[in-house]
Amino acid sequence: MKIKILTLFPEMLEGPLHASILGRAIDAGLIDVELVNIRDYAKNKHNNADDYPFGGGAGMVMLPQPVVDAVEANALPGMRRIYMSPRGRTLNQKIVEEYAQCESLLLLCGHYEGVDQRALDLCIDEELSIGDYVLTGGELAALIVVDAVSRLIPGVLGSDESSADESFSTGLLEYPQYTRPAEFRGMKVPDVLLGGNHADIAAWRRRESLKLTRERRPELLNSAPLTEADREELRRMERADEILRALSSDGVRAERLDMFAETAYAKAWFSRIVPEERRRAARKQCFSGRRHVGWLYQAFEMGYAPSVRGEEAEAKFAAKPEDAALGGGAVLYLNRENLAFRLENPEALSHLPRLALLTAPDFSWSFARSSRGELYSYTKATEANIP
Ligand SMILES: C[S@@+](CC[C@H](N)C(=O)[O-])C[C@H]1O[C@@H](n2cnc3c(N)ncnc32)[C@H](O)[C@@H]1O
């Protein structure tokens, strides 16, 4: 691809074009970036390229003659001629993909108060902004276009640097990335990423992408290509938020349990909620091969975690030493929606049947408590369960 950048300050661009991935791509001839100094086309005595604005006002305006001459002398047939400008349409990955299909681009950088309108009317196809803020000149904006476009040119990224599943190319924001060490300042990398199960990793990443996009850029979800499984996951996230709000309004501090990320944590809970005599069989079903994810759901769904009504729900379990490490509390599991929550303040547990009714009046609930090695479950929240 050929890119020509027309500027009054080529020195602002030279450094970045010779470093890192961009520098390598240019050296390898994958992209050809030419810097054109607009001042070289000025025909007045002092090579002036700007003058005071007609009508008064602060700053200087770039003269039409050097700009038009520079564009006309450098534009190639079919070249897309773009003026970097805060008034243009805002750059996004779709536009970057569109530009990457072009054989050549001309990027005109304004400076001072901008460029005489007649020059733009005469020789520019479109205006492009890089965001709703004002820069001193178009040079940094042009560099951003060059950088984003070149990443999509085949061969520019090495085989280990892919652009395929990044933010925006999937229509979503990217999932969190981690590298060595597996633990840094007490913060652990999610277990699923260390497990080596590619299907689990892909599922976790997709869910994290959905989660981040929903939190930070929910409007992207309207246009992102989503599968039915994605939509289901988004409905569950919605539901989980509703439940967390209901719990919090009742003074229960809770977090949604992410079984996909916390295998070790999940395993410890497993021994809390599945009675010893059923554990072997349950383990076989819920932890088949290296696939640990979803174990809690399966334990409840397959009936390994006892789930009986009201008073009968009480069952005794031996307290395990790891209980303290888990911080006590309880697991609240919403069967029909496959949602699990860790409740932090066990003193709030007496409200649970009422909470179940509050959050999901006609749904089936299971509730497991581990703080004293005891387990209580409710399959149905009914008026009768309310203390
Ligand atoms: C100080 S700005 C001029 C701003 C202009 N007076 C206005 O209010 O729209 C100087 C030059 O910086 C570039 N520029 C500034 N902000 C930009 C943005 N958000 N995107 C692209 N180019 C920008 C343009 O080339 C512009 O001509």
Pick the CATH number of 2-150 from 3.40.50.2020, 3.40.50.300, 3.40.1280.10, 3.40.309.10: 3.40.1280.10
How much is the pLDDT for 317?
30
90 CA to centre of ligand 1 in angstroms: 12
Per the document, the length of the chain is 387
Burial environment of residue 152 by CB neighbours within 10 A (0 to 12, 13 to 18, 19 or more): middle
How much is the pLDDT for 250?
76
Q: Is the dihedral of CA 378, 383, 384, 386 positive or negative?
A: positive
DSSP 310: G
From atom 11 of ligand 1, which residue's Cα is the shortest distance away? 137
Peptide bond into 181 cis (omega under 30): yes
DSSP string spanning 239-293?
HHHHHHHHHHHTT--EEE--TTT-HHHHHHHHHHHS-HHHHHHHHHHHT-TT--T
Q: Show me where the domains of the chain are located.
A: 2-150, 250-385
How much is the pLDDT for 292?
46
Least confident of 36-40, 101-105, 274-278, 367-371: 367-371
DSSP 109: E
Tokens of 13: 């661009």
Q: Are strands 2-7 and 104-109 parallel, antiparallel or unpaired?
A: parallel
CA distances from 350 to 50, 243, 353, 367 (A): 76, 17, 8, 11
**What is the CB < 6 Å shell around ligand 1?**
84-87, 109-111, 113-114, 129-131, 133-138, 141
Q: Model confidence over 188-218: pLDDT tens digits?
A: 888 778 878 788 788 889 999 999 999 999 9
Q: Are 83 and 124 in contact (CB under 8 A)?
A: yes
**Cβ-based neighbour number of residue 157 at 10 Å:** 17
d(CA 137, CA 111): 4
Q: Are 311 and 346 in contact (CB under 8 A)?
A: no
- Mean residue pLDDT across the chain: 81
Q: Are 112 and 62 in contact (CB under 8 A)?
A: yes
Which atom of ligand 1 lies closest to the CA of 114? 27
Please report which confidence band the pLDDT of residue 284 belongs to, taking 50, 70 and 90 as the band edges: confident
From atom 26 of ligand 1, which residue's Cα is the shortest distance away? 110
82 CA to centre of ligand 1 in angstroms: 13
